[in-house]
Amino acid sequence: MTASSSVTSEVGIHLKGITKTFGEVVAVDDVDIVIREGEFYSLLGPSGCGKTTSLRMIAGFEVPDTGRILLRDKDVSGDLPSKRNVNMVFQHYALFPHMNVEDNVMFGLRVSGVRKKERVQRVAEILEIVRLPGFQKRKPFQLSGGQQQRVALARALVNRPSALLLDEPLGALDVKLRREMQLELKAIQHDLGTTFVYVTHDQEEALTMSDRIAVMNLGRVEQVGTPREIYEHPESSFVAGFIGSLNAMDLKIQQRQDDTGGMTVGEGWVIARVDADVAVGTTLRAAVRPERIALGPAGAPVHPDGSVVVGTVEEVIYLGAMSLFHVDIPGLGQLVSQRMSHEDESAYRTGDRVSASWELAHTLVLE
């Protein structure tokens, strides 16, 4: 959680033992999620894992088969969407094309009977917050895609919902605009202190914006944590693979010492911190992130106290600021090391013999 986060200790939204099936398909399978008031909380996972269905159940557009939904401690499971104090923003923001920005944003306020003077004032305030001051009289066609999405956001926020539910809201924008909007959305959320529940299949997006992330797979929550916890301490192969790239390997424990276990690989070794009950002979699934693998001369590894293996550079992929080195390690397979292009290590070329090494703490034991 960042120091500037608006998260409180109160419960904003609680999904309690929620299951939802569509015919044979179990879309959401016994999900339990507690979202704190003021939190930027993302549901992250591949297509079809149940993110949107979960969000739609919070909004009241779908009814769970079992379980309950609480908003600020109030059981809203049986309430209609209009009775729940939440709003939703979609990827395809349907603004009314014939109405200007002001009328689009104040639409909901008009429906709920707020008087004209207050409506105008609240629209002006929320347009400030979404960084569109003075845009009241523009029509949607006079706005860029990012600006239109900000109007949709203003429209969803102007009646001050207790939570905003966002379903891939930046999916239609190009990459550059998407990056800008990610930071802006986070800033807007922080300024308002409103709980945001954000659905995305884009791990970078979730890591950039969220206070916490629930990683979903096949209708279930695999892990909940801060971006750093999820990235650095994934608890399953699925989470590790989904959140960034990794070098996965089978680690057959041949030796144990204190809290460490390891195996030899050619003249080198791979070691990991392992639980006390892991016996010699056990095979664990382990992984190391590409950015953690340092390259050095074959006889002089950068991290001699960690894992050290030796192999041959098979391929170098130049990506501008960084390069990827595919290193073939006899007895282990291929490892990918990511190095910054300005580092000395990135001078290695195809065919070079190198040591690949990483610190003990960076061998992730997955399950």
- The residues binding ligand ATP (CB under 6 A) are 22, 25, 27, 45, 47-53, 201
Beta carbon of residue 68, minimum distance to ligand ATP (angstroms, whole number): 19
The three-point CA angle 297-285-304 to 5° equals 25
Task: Select 51 or 122, whichever has its Cβ closest to ligand ATP.
Answer: 51
Beta carbon of residue 223, minimum distance to ligand ATP (angstroms, whole number): 16
Task: Select 139 or 220, whichever has its Cβ closest to ligand ATP.
Answer: 220
Within 10 angstroms of residue 87's Cβ, the number of other Cβ atoms is 22
Beta carbon of residue 196, minimum distance to ligand ATP (angstroms, whole number): 17
Task: Select 20 or 289, whichever has its Cβ closest to ligand ATP.
Answer: 20
Task: Select 47 or 82, whichever has its Cβ closest to ligand ATP.
Answer: 47
Contact 143, 135 (CB under 8 A): yes
Length of the chain: 367
Task: Select 5 or 210, whichever has its Cβ closest to ligand ATP.
Answer: 210
Lookup result for tokens 């990511």: 338
Beta carbon of residue 278, minimum distance to ligand ATP (angstroms, whole number): 34
Per the DSSP assignment, residues forming a β-bridge with 206 are: none
Beta carbon of residue 90, minimum distance to ligand ATP (angstroms, whole number): 11
Task: Select 91 or 208, whichever has its Cβ closest to ligand ATP.
Answer: 91
Pairing of strands 364-365, 40-44: unpaired
Q: How many Cα atoms are found within 13 Å in the side-chain-facing hemisphere of 328?
A: 9
The gap from C-alpha 354 to its chain's centroid, in whole angstroms, comes to 34
Beta carbon of residue 285, minimum distance to ligand ATP (angstroms, whole number): 25
Output the six-digit token pair for 344. 């000395």
What is the rounded CA–CA span in Å between residue 27 and residue 19?
Answer: 8
Lookup result for tokens 């308002």: 192
Answer left, alpha or beta for residue 264, where phi above 0 means left and psi between -120 and 50 means alpha: beta
